[in-house]
Structure 1
Amino acid sequence: MIKITWQYIPFRNDVAFLQIKQTEVNQIPFYYPIFYTHVYTAIFVLLAGFFQLSPSFLKKFPVAHRNIGKFYVFVVLFLSAPSGLFIGLFANGGLYAKMSFVTLSILWFYFTLKGFTSIKNKNIAQHKAFMLRSFALTFSAITLRFWKVILVYLFHPAPMDLYQIIAWLGWIPNLLIIEYYLYNQLKK
């Protein structure tokens, strides 16, 4: 992800993914800065989220856990999810891909907000569950690219067909895995 993000430094509107988004860059006000907001903030929430998953980190550094968590919540709620929603409205792959990215952004915002309000209400179990869901959606930045490589290697689909498929595969399996994990935790 750092390598992918690095290609967008310095700010240019004709590099990497933006090469195929020139209509949006040139015709939609604010697409370019909102896209960069999403790209640059996503890398930080990915890194912040990894720290938050470690129970030993929480026990050894509870203040750091709280501060990193506040950073994660702020960035997701005010920068990453809203910018993801905006660029999702203009996603490649037609209506199905747009529906996926818009749904992803809305759920990402909701799960993060619920995780935050749960800890404010001192409901640790609910906080953990919603933050795991939130990070599953954060992690979609990685799994989307993973599925893209696998599907291109195995099936060589047309680019727009691929985009429609990975738009959903990038996050639904992540969320199903977390739900299965949470279900098993409840049974214990």
Structure 2
Amino acid sequence: MHIVRRNITFFLRTLLIIGFSYFFWLMLKITLEYIPLDSNVSFLMIKQTEVKQRPEYLYFFYTHVYTSIFVLLSGFLAILRKDFGWKDFHRNMGKIYIFLILMLAAPSGIYMGIFANGGMLSKFSFVILGILWWFSTFKAYRLARQKKFKEHKQWMWRSFAFTLSAVTLRMWKVIIVYLFHPNPMDVYQIIAWLGWIPNILLIEYLITKKQI
């Protein structure tokens, strides 16, 4: 029975690694679109009002894009290596993850949320997401400093749920556009909320059931 359980765990972890690697590669491809710097490519093509009227917008945008890919990777590696018992690696990846979110990725994300497409509904959602992302990460950091590691783990999972919104948002966009072909601005309003609310609800459920 123990061997079967161990094999199932190994299989699920392998699927998790493969799935994350695939989506990480997709996110990396999106990031690489902005190298070298060009304000007339991809997402920035529909943000020309902000690009031209707000000189600081590009600084926040590039900060968010370039740091978020490392946030995604360091967060996943911190979780993965914790399972393997590599404490030093877990701690170092966690420090990178927390620093990048608190100092760079979340603040720049909040700023970008103020100018999000899709009207006030989208703006409201992305700003809330950025604030919750920052707060959950800061809470996890404080709990680690206090050596309350059980609570630290739970808050880190909450933080990573918000981090994964970068992936799930795009997944929902593909599904919604493929099935319903809505107006582009309507899509933004929908995925702005779907990108993170199901994630955090799932994590809260798993915490309640003591699965993490």
- Normalising TM by the smaller chain, what interval? over 0.9
Other-structure match for 2:69: 43
Equivalent position to 2:134, from 91, 109, 114: 109
Local SS of the residue matching 1:146? helix
Q: Which has the larger radius of gyration?
A: 2
Alpha-carbon distance between aligned partners in 1 of 2:174 and 2:128, rounded to the nearest angstrom = 23
* TM-score, length basis structure 1: 0.96
What is aligned with 1:151?
176
State the TM-score, normalizing by the size of structure 2.
Answer: 0.85
1:177 aligns with 2:205: no
Shift in Å at residue 125 of structure 1? 1.0
Deviation at 1:63, TM superposition (A): 1.0
Q: Does 1:88 align with 2:113?
A: yes
2:62 maps to 1:3: no
| Counterpart in the other structure of 2:83 | 56
Among 98, 122, 134, the alignment partner of 1:97 is 122
Tell me, in whole angstroms, the C-alpha distance in 2 between the residues paired with 1:31 and 1:23. 10
- Equivalent residue for 2:149? 124
- The answer as to 2:161 corresponding to 1:136 is yes
- The yes-or-no answer on 1:12 pairing with 2:38 is yes
- Provide the residue aligned with 1:34 in structure 2: 60
CA distance in 1, matches of 2:205, 2:75: 20
CA distance in 2, matches of 1:17, 1:88: 14
SS at match of 1:185: coil
1:33 offset after TM fit, Å?
A: 1.2
Q: Deviations over 1:109-138 (max 9, x none)?
A: 000000000010010111001000000000
Q: Which has the higher contact order (CA 8 A, sep 6+)?
A: 1
Structure 1 ranges of 4+ moved more than 3 A: none
Aligned length: 185
Unpaired runs of 5+ residues, structure 1, are none
One-letter code aligned to 1:127: H
Partner AA of 2:161 in structure 1: A
Taking only the aligned residue pairs, the percentage that are identical comes to 57
